[in-house]
Structure 1
């Protein structure tokens, strides 16, 4: 055999090395091809994903084409009404050009809804729910169930006076149910007991539940006492039935609001301390540079004096921008979270306790700021001393006794 041929075919390291080298090169080529294929596949996948994002964005910002069917249009009106009512927005929102542009951009085929149309939808929805409530209450009374009412009156910021009537009952599944029956606009300037009883019975008669009223919870105003007496006279004329043999009686059905009684106890304590809060917060106002003279007469009673001082400080921190900002900076420097300072009012339950609670949280920043400030040097004449801060801590502990019962009722 020729030596060259023999050398080429004989087994040994040269042939093995060549075979391994060839195999390695083949593996590298295959791996390179696989990697290239994976990279290409990854790029294709990423490109497809990006394309879908672009298409989705284009589809979102492109107005929809096609007419709206009655189902979707009806659902749109329901959702729009729920959105406006739940967020306490004005009904006139739907008439504003910017809102209509937004709706047209999302769906050009959506019909424009006017304020009057939306008001009609609201009235229709209200009537439907009211009818369902009336049927449920009448069925409850027919089966022998009893109802408890609560009523309260207030004055709005525009001077209009209203009264709310709520109803409470336990259904056949022993579930406590409650709902607002109505909110009355009290148009008469004098809210006599006769007038209030007339308005109350008009609502219960309208729902057909007058003979099912068991108790009425109210505050301690004298006109409410007269209202219940007149209501008792009015319901006595209703015909009794086997299911409802007893009509409303003041002796058994008059329930006085416990939270209101607790607030009266707190106000009585403040009266004894000669520190009853004022209804008008502007009464605590101090002109710049006149804190030591204007309307401030130190009381010989220590508790009354410190509460007057605190209320005037709170008014300054709430109504003077420089003082408010300085207090925030001071509290932040000390690592204390800033809370909102509030003034107490006679008709706001637990307001004195909450005033003391928030002020005592900022005791250190208030002390530091009042001692170093140069914005109004006259405020140093009514600075709260360390002994007076101890008095405030004691008052907070005292008024805390009334907080939990008032919150639970």
Structure 2
């Protein structure tokens, strides 16, 4: 096309031409096939398909996202792979399983080398579980500081634990796992819950390890587990109120019709339904605290539901609601301490001393208070606290002293 280039016509001609120009979108074939990499070298824009790397990526996806091995045999997934590259060599779930085991062995060797190279010691938490099918399992986790002074955590084992689950049997199992990792000479401490078999477990394991101070500081009792025991003891004082709140939440969540009736009551008393009711796990006290917090928020809705629904008979009385309010306020300190102890991305040994001290002072204060109900509850909890924390841990006191925020002042 011919355009007038005279200046009096302006640049409108060129603008209209640029919108319809055919050659503008035409690129050289070499530009589409080649590109310059970060090093300034010219290479193919699309690298050659690597079948081994493709298999490795699929295996990593299976492990990372907990996908079933059969995932690789899904028709739709295979169609996607073939669409992306017709040269893709598809493989079976058995091959995927074999590849996962290969990746495990590679990563295990890498972790063994890391554990053996660190200059410091390793701390181990361990615990046992019983599955729904009554099979026993034991876990082993390593906490350590690497060569760059970063706090690290690695799950070493989650292994089947055949009966008997005695202290001797668990000591033999853990020691065999430590030997497998080659770290039996680098252990500093082990953190366990308060199961009866653990004392025997520790005494048997100590004899086979090279420990600091002849193992005086080897056994560390789980702080979160002790707090759980202390608070569960205190909740026995208000067991009836706890059961009523728990049953009230269960009732409202029991069916869609009940939930709708409860939401109608929430709307009637002008509360927000976005907060939601929280069901607790009886063995985890912090979930009970969260349940109390949510129940107190919906207190008026529960009271209205009691009037409007004759089948709902588990609503706490006014006296019980008053107790729950006091408990919730009282337990908030314990909840904050539990959250602090449960941290995994920061060291917790240095904060143990101040938080245990906070708990002791709170219980002492309530034991001397004028509120008879809280006083009885605090006395029960104090008895359980003294069972495990009658004396402060010396090694934990040293950790507090080394924290520049506390030094000797807190310990004194």
* Distance change >3 Å, CA 251–CA 37, structure 1 → 2: closer
Deviation at 1:262, TM superposition (A): 0.3
Partner of 1:86: 64
Q: Give the corresponding residue for 2:75.
A: 97
* 1:268-289 deviation digits (Å, cap 9, x = unpaired): 101233x1xxxxxxxxxxxxxx
- What TM-score, normalized by structure 2, do the two folds share? 0.69
Match of 1:38 in 2: 15
Q: CA deviation at 1:160?
A: 2.5
Task: Please state how far the C-alpha of 1:248 moved relative to its aligned partner.
Answer: 8.2
Distance (Å, rounded) in 1 between the aligned partners of 2:157 and 2:87: 39
SS of 2:58's equivalent in the other structure is helix
Residue from 210, 218, 237 that aligns with 1:253? 218
Change (3 A) 1:72 1:362: farther
1:367 paired to 2:303: yes
**Superposed CA offset, 1:223-275 (max 9, x none):** 1111111112333xxxxxxxx6x4684532110000000000011101233x1
Distance in 1 separating the partners of 2:185 and 2:230? 35
Query: Aligned ranges for residues 5-404 of structure 1 at < 5 Å?
Result: 31=9, 35=12, 38-44=15-21, 69=48, 72-140=50-118, 143=119, 145-188=120-163, 190-235=164-209, 246=211, 249-273=214-238, 275=239, 304=240, 306-331=241-266, 334=270, 336-373=272-309, 377-379=310-312, 381-404=313-336
- Tell me the distance in 2 between the aligned counterparts of 1:248 and 1:191: 29
Query: Is this contact kept in 1: 2:302–2:315, CA < 8 A?
Result: no
2-structure distance, mates of 1:111, 1:361: 58
Inter-CA distance 151–386: structure 2 relative to 1 (3 Å threshold): same
Distance 1:266 1:355 in 2: 15
> Could you say if the C-alpha distance between residues 364 and 73 of structure 1 is closer, same or farther in structure 2, counting changes exceeding 3 Å?
farther
Post-superposition Cα deviations, 1:156-209, rounded to whole Å, max 9, x if no partner, equal 334332111011222343322221111121122x30011100100001111221
Counterpart CA distance in 2 for 1:75 and 1:248 is: 49
CA-CA distance at 1:342 after TM superposition = 3.4
Q: Residues 272 and 370 from structure 1, CA distance in 2 versus in 1: closer, same or farther, beyond 3 angstroms?
A: closer
8 Å contact 1:344–1:351 — kept in the other structure? yes
Residues 172 and 87 of structure 1: CA distance in aligned 2, closer, same or farther (over 3 Å): closer
The answer to whether the 8 Å contact 2:126/2:141 transfers is yes
**Cα RMSD for the two superposed structures:** 3.2
Shift of 1:34: 5.4
| Distance in structure 2 (CA, Å) of the matches to 1:85 and 1:332 | 45
- Using a 3 Å threshold, how does the CA distance of structure 1 residues 182 and 397 change in structure 2: closer, same or farther? same
Structure 1 or 2, whichever has the larger Rg, is 1
Q: Is the 8 A contact 2:63 2:100 kept in 1?
A: no
Cα 1:136/1:100, change in 2 over 3 Å = same
Match of 1:57 in 2: none
SS in 2 for 1:210: coil
Query: How many correspondences in the alignment?
Result: 319
Name the structure 2 match of 1:19.
none
Alignment check: 8 A CA contact 1:211 1:247 kept = no
Q: How far apart in 1 are the matches of 2:224 and 2:108?
A: 29
Please tell me whether the aligned partners of residues 136 and 162 of structure 2 are also in contact (alpha carbons under 8 angstroms). yes
- Residue 98 of structure 1 aligns to a residue whose secondary structure is helix
Q: Tell me the distance in 2 between the aligned counterparts of 1:359 and 1:48.
A: 65
